[in-house]
Structure formats: C-alpha cells, structure tokens
Structure 1
Amino acid sequence: MKKELTLNFDYFTAAAELSDIEKTLFEKAKTAREKAYAPYSDFFVGCAVLLENGEIICGNNQENAAFPSGLCAERTAVFYIGANFPEQKIKKIFIVGGPRIFSEKTPAIPPCGACRQSLMEYETKQHENIEVYFSNLKEEIYKVNAVKDLLPFYFDSTFL
C-alpha cells in the first residue's frame, strides 16, 4: 500500500510580508547569527524564539574543534529556555543561516535533523504547536505551523 504525505507551508519573498512580531524575530535572528562562533565551517546560524510571555530568546551556533561537540543555534536557544523558563511555552522560532560571506545562491536554511528532534520534544512537552520560520539573508522565508510538519515520522515518549 502506498500512502502520501502533504506538507503545507507559507512562503514569503521579503520580510516586509511578515507581521510586526515576525519581523522582529527575523531581525533578532539575523543579529544572533552575526555573533555565532563558527571558525571551522564558516557557516553562521542565528535564531530567535518567542515565548508565551512575550520574551524573545536568541541563540547561535557554537562550534568546537572536537566535532561534534558544538551546538546548533536552535538547540542553544531552546536548551537555555528549558533551563531558565521551563514553564513557558514556545510560540515561534525564527532561523536565519548561511555562509559568513553571503551568497545569492544560498537557499533558506531549515533546522537540521537533530534540531528538529529537539524542537519536537518541546512541542510534545507543551502540547501545542511551535511555528517554525527559516530563511536566508536575502529574505526568502518559509513558515510551517508545527515542528511535526518538518518531522512527520517523529519519535517521542509514546514509543518508550
């Protein structure tokens, strides 16, 4: 038996098409990206996370010479949230990534598999979807309404 998955997403060609809070998240993710520590890959990623209380927490990738000891921007931010704001729900996460020196050929950068799984843990824990936006510096922006849209065959505590 063959089945089919369908992915619904929004696509924006400029940050001007976003709501005010989404524009703020985009700008904060870009700023966080500039502070990334990526001397080995030269690939900079920043993210901004909107919490239920309105606070915005940012993160960026942090590399290490002892691969894979570094950490992606998304996990840097959500692990900080888990440690410092454990009762706050995550509403939105905005990710901006690409090489240090921007290239017009760089596509919008989605979260990696490990980050998708980590974000899924928080979405499952809070029993509420997390909107995920991902972009490049030329403002090509994708939005999905939930982490599970990016990870349809996710693994969670129901398997344990």
Structure 2
Amino acid sequence: MMGKLTAGEARLLDILQQDGRITNQELAERAGMSASPCWRRVQALQDRGVIRRHVTLLDPGKIGLQVIAWAAVQLQCYKEDEVRRFEESVAGVPEIVECYSVMGESEYVLKVVVPDPQAYDRFLHEFLFKVPGLVRVRSSLALREVKYTTVLPLQQALA
C-alpha cells in the first residue's frame, strides 16, 4: 500500500490541482505557510512521485478532436507474452490517450481521441484489428461530456 497524505500535503495538492502554474509564493500564502517550507514540501511530493508531472490540459473539441471513444478489448488468451505484445502495441499510438487493464468481460479498456467517426473507423481497421491475439472490440462513443476533471479526491487519501 502506498503512503497516505498529511493534511498539509493535501492542502498544497488541492491548490496545485486547481492551478498548476501558481507561483510558490502564492501557493505558500494560500496554504498558510512560508515559502521555503512550501517549496520543500512540493519538492518532496515530486521526489516521491506523488506529483507526476506538470502539463497543460487542452480542450479536444477546440482543436478538432471531436470524438472520444472507449474500446473494450478482449484478447484470445490472457498469457504473459500476449499481454506484453498487446501493451507494447498500444503504448506508442497517439490516438490512445489512456489504456487500462480491467477485470470483467474485457481485458483492456482504451480511451481513443480522434477527429470524427470515420477516423475512429480507420483507427479500428488500420491499427486495432491488426493487433495479434485480439478477439473482440466493443466500442462506445461519447455523445457529450457531462463531467471531466483531473482533480483527485484527496480527502480519501489522508493518513
């Protein structure tokens, strides 16, 4: 089991999840601490891997990526070499923005982002259907976004 967060760490992370570009000085002020200890705590969170990286979140629709699809993938057999081969196949595909190994009818669920349904069809035929060991793909396309957040529920992670 991974380590839990202290209340102070959770406070810093709550603020950073809302605005990753905040200055250390402003972060310290909003968290109610001085700048040096604030910086050290953030560095420690980065060193522990709690903070993975700093990124800019884009709106896919505003850049022409209108279709978000989930592909539930079933493999012929769930053996180590087949799993490795599948995971290596999907790792470098830019349209696949998330991939999860799951329990249930499927072995994997992929989140795929493409411009339109035709592009998703091409993705299926030109890539996914050609992956060795693939038996079935069940797709769902998003109609509209109801909720999207990258903010984690930190109260659940307190020590």
**TM-score for the superposition, normalised by structure 2:** 0.22
Q: Answer 1 or 2: higher relative contact order, Cα 8 Å, separation at least 6.
A: 2
Bigger Rg over Cα:
2
Q: Which protein has the bigger helix share?
A: 2
**TM-score for the superposition, normalised by structure 1:** 0.22
